[in-house]
Structure 1
Amino acid sequence: MKLLQTRIKNKVLKSMIRILGHERHAIIEANKKDLEAFQKEDQALYERLIVNDKKVDEMITAVEAVMNQEDPVGQELSNRTLKNGLNIVNTTAPFGTILIIYESRPDVTIEAAVLAFKANNKILLKGGKEALNSNLILEKCWHQALEENGLSKEWIKLLHLKREETQEFLKNPTEPLDLIVPRGGERLINFVKTHATCAVLVSGRGNNFLYVSEHADWSKAVNVIINAKTDKISGCNALDKVLINKNLPEYETKLKMLQEKLEQHHVEILVDDKVSSILPQKETVSNSEIWHEEFLALKLLIGEVDTLEEAIDLINTYSGKHSAAIITEHTDEAMEFMHNVDSAAVYHNASTRFTDGGQMGVGAELAISTDKLHHRGPLGLNQLVTNKYYVYGNGQVRI
């Protein structure tokens, strides 16, 4: 796809803002068809599927925010002239074609596309069948915005492929792919990594941990735990595991207080062997695999640790390397935790629910990357470009 002027890209986004507002009712009605057809046994997936007036407003806000951001393409990263006279300029450049695979969440059809397009990338959207009607009307909106401004619909395209066809497309793509972003379970991620012939940026699972130090402000700890667990259970930044230092003053009393508070919010509590002696009526986990699990439900596992080092070791062993938090009033302890926990985002005295492009000041996000190359955390506009060297000479040859 050719390099577009910023003015043209912004005109498309301005059209899209108008079209989303105009088609608001049709978008919500299309989404109702998806909701009616959905089997509600997976509450988290159902929550992600919902499009209402608030969600359409958020879509419009996302497009507007990206439109107002500086174009990330063609930004000079470095400029140096060598002794031989060569002028070497390193600048940002589009990836080319991005494929994103995701389920539910029709808002991804807006956020992923607006980011990819502003960064001058073509994007292929492979949404789940549960959001088909929602995604079809959103694709129609995109195509109208593109064609109003004289651009091809090929810039933003839904892939209408069944699961088996998607797998075959990954093995033998019918067009060049430069970057794949899988947003799904371990099976999808592993399959993409195995078969992709281009770069893969993984938007991995959550399974986020919080450690309560013996130096914690208990009121602060409880408020953060409740928010991180109950604010949005379908978020990949929701809390799944809490580790509490047994040396916390009034440890047993505080555990019982936490149980009572969680039950007020209808949270199912699981405990490890040590905590079960204090909360004996709660289910004790017997299978270590549950420590790897992302719940996406009103469920929380509480475990006991002796030291900060033990907490760090458990988190690095079992977490999804997405987000982790420590509650402590000792800054040195917090820094040791944050330096040594291997997660995309680490928190001191704050909820993991802030691992989000909008909340972190990045704006709309393509995904939350749990990989270490080329970026970790929210993938915003500035992360959807690569770089390119422009070398200017006057007949130089290497000797």
Structure 2
Amino acid sequence: MKGLTSNEKNRVLNSMAELVASEKVTILKANKIDLDSYSGKDIAMYDRLKVDDAKVDGMILSLEQLIADIDPIGKELYSFTHENGLKMTNKTAPFGTVLIIYESRPDVTVEAAGIAFKSGNKILLKGGKESLNSNLKIVELWHKALSENNISTDWVEYLNYNRTETQEFLTKPTQKIDLVVPRGGEKLITFVKQNATCPVIVSGRGNNFIYVDTEADLEMALKVIINAKASKISACNALDKVLINHNLINKEAFTKSLINKLVEHKVEILGDDDLSKFEKVSAFKDPNIWFKEFLDYKIVLGFVDSLDEVILKINTYAGGHSAVIITKNDETANLFMESVDSAAVYQNASTRFTDGGQFGLGGELAISTDKLHHRGPMGLQHLVTNKWYIYGNGQIR
């Protein structure tokens, strides 16, 4: 399809924002059908599925931010004039067609699709069956926004496929796909990676760690850990593991305070051999639990002897998403942040900030834990590839 101008894209996004606002009640009604039909016991899935007034307002805000943001297409990245007179320029360009496969979250149908659209891509959406009514209503609004501006509805397409049909489409797509972005749990990501025949950006796996150093502010540590674990357990930036230095002054008192705070927030606590001796902590038997992202009211606590052990443990088990050190020692923090292999590393702050909106990107397409082609929250300016433009007057080599 012929590319759209910035003005055309912004007009569609503006129409979409107005339609989402005016159709809030119908979106909530469609979502209620999905909620009433959901029979699973996955509390994270249910939390992501639910749409309320605040989520609709978030959809509208993401569209308004996209309108205000600079168009990412056609930005000059590099230029060079060859000694023979050839003028060479490298510019940002759309991928082409982006397939977004996601579970449960109807807001993705607005936010991620909006980012993909403004970055010049045709969007294919494949949501989960649990959010079908919500997604179809929102896609209906996308088509209305496109039609109001005399632009083909082919720019946004919803794939109402079951698992077998999705697998077949990934393996043998009936149209050209340039990029697939799976947003969901590890099973979904594995399914897409095993079947897709085009590049895949891995998004969403957390298993995030916080390390409490010997020079930590312990009140701060409690506050940060509770926020990271309990404020939104369905988010991929939620906390799963806490490592406490054995040499921490008041280690026993701090650990007991942390356990009590977690219990107050109804968090189930699992511990290594030393930590499981504390009351209200259950011992775990399978060491592979260090690999697990919970998306639930569960957490693992463990003691460590050194910063080297912390770095090794995080780099071995974590999902490459977010890792935190709680310490007053900036030199220790810098060593931790430079050595830990995660997309986002923090000193003295909650993992819950790893988010496109919180990072000043507006919305986000995904949070990539890959190192290619972009790492961490992917906003509008990241969903681009590049293209070379060479201007000559008959040069040959």
Normalising by structure 1, what TM-score?
Answer: 0.98
**In the alignment, what sits opposite 1:241?**
241
Greater alpha carbon shift after TM alignment, 218-227 vs 76-85: 76-85
CA distance in 2, matches of 1:47, 1:188: 18
2:132 is paired with a residue whose SS is helix
**In the alignment, what sits opposite 2:22?**
22
What is the percent sequence identity of the aligned residues?
59
Q: State the 1:261 CA deviation.
A: 1.4
1:28 is paired with a residue whose SS is helix
Q: State the 1:281 CA deviation.
A: 4.4
Q: Which amino acid aligns with 1:361?
A: G
Q: Deviations over 1:357-387 (max 9, x none)?
A: 0001011101100000010001110111100
Q: State the 1:280 CA deviation.
A: 4.5
Q: State the 1:204 CA deviation.
A: 3.7
Q: Which amino acid aligns with 1:164?
A: T
**In the alignment, what sits opposite 1:5?**
5
Conservation of the 8 A alpha-carbon contact between 1:204 and 1:320: no
| 1:30-179 to 2 correspondences below 5 Å | 30-179=30-179
Q: Does 2:386 correspond to 1:376? A: no
Q: Does 2:188 correspond to 1:196? A: no
Q: Which amino acid aligns with 1:168?
A: E
1:266 is paired with a residue whose SS is coil
Conservation of the 8 A alpha-carbon contact between 2:269 and 2:280: no
Q: Which amino acid aligns with 2:176?
A: P
Change (3 A) 1:94 1:162: same
Q: Which amino acid aligns with 1:307?
A: S
CA distance in 2, matches of 1:295, 1:196: 26
Q: State the 1:40 CA deviation.
A: 4.9
Q: Which amino acid aligns with 1:251?
A: K
Q: Which amino acid aligns with 1:96?
A: G
Structure 1 residue runs without a partner (length 5+): none
CA distance in 1, matches of 2:296, 2:187: 20
**In the alignment, what sits opposite 2:389?**
390
**In the alignment, what sits opposite 1:209?**
209
**In the alignment, what sits opposite 1:320?**
319
Question: Cα RMSD between the aligned structures?
Answer: 1.0
Q: Which amino acid aligns with 1:354?
A: F
CA distance in 1, matches of 2:187, 2:43: 20
**In the alignment, what sits opposite 1:290?**
289
CA distance in 2, matches of 1:193, 1:234: 22
Q: State the 1:82 CA deviation.
A: 1.2
CA distance in 1, matches of 2:167, 2:9: 32
CA distance in 1, matches of 2:235, 2:186: 17
2:274 is paired with a residue whose SS is helix
CA distance in 1, matches of 2:134, 2:369: 28
Q: State the 1:18 CA deviation.
A: 1.0
Conservation of the 8 A alpha-carbon contact between 2:212 and 2:244: yes
**In the alignment, what sits opposite 1:306?**
305
CA distance in 2, matches of 1:392, 1:94: 21
Q: Deviations over 1:159-182 (max 9, x none)?
A: 010001000000000000000011
Q: State the 1:39 CA deviation.
A: 1.9
CA distance in 2, matches of 1:232, 1:292: 20
CA distance in 1, matches of 2:254, 2:118: 50
2:32 is paired with a residue whose SS is helix
1:124 is paired with a residue whose SS is strand
Conservation of the 8 A alpha-carbon contact between 2:204 and 2:366: no
CA distance in 2, matches of 1:165, 1:198: 17
CA distance in 1, matches of 2:33, 2:318: 36
CA distance in 2, matches of 1:194, 1:71: 33
Conservation of the 8 A alpha-carbon contact between 1:208 and 1:240: yes
Q: Deviations over 1:223-263 (max 9, x none)?
A: 00000001100000000000000100011111111111111
CA distance in 2, matches of 1:298, 1:190: 24
Q: State the 1:195 CA deviation.
A: 2.8
2:145 is paired with a residue whose SS is helix
Which ranges of 4 or more aligned residues in structure 1 deviate by more than 3 Å?
Answer: none
Q: State the 1:192 CA deviation.
A: 2.3
CA distance in 2, matches of 1:123, 1:291: 36
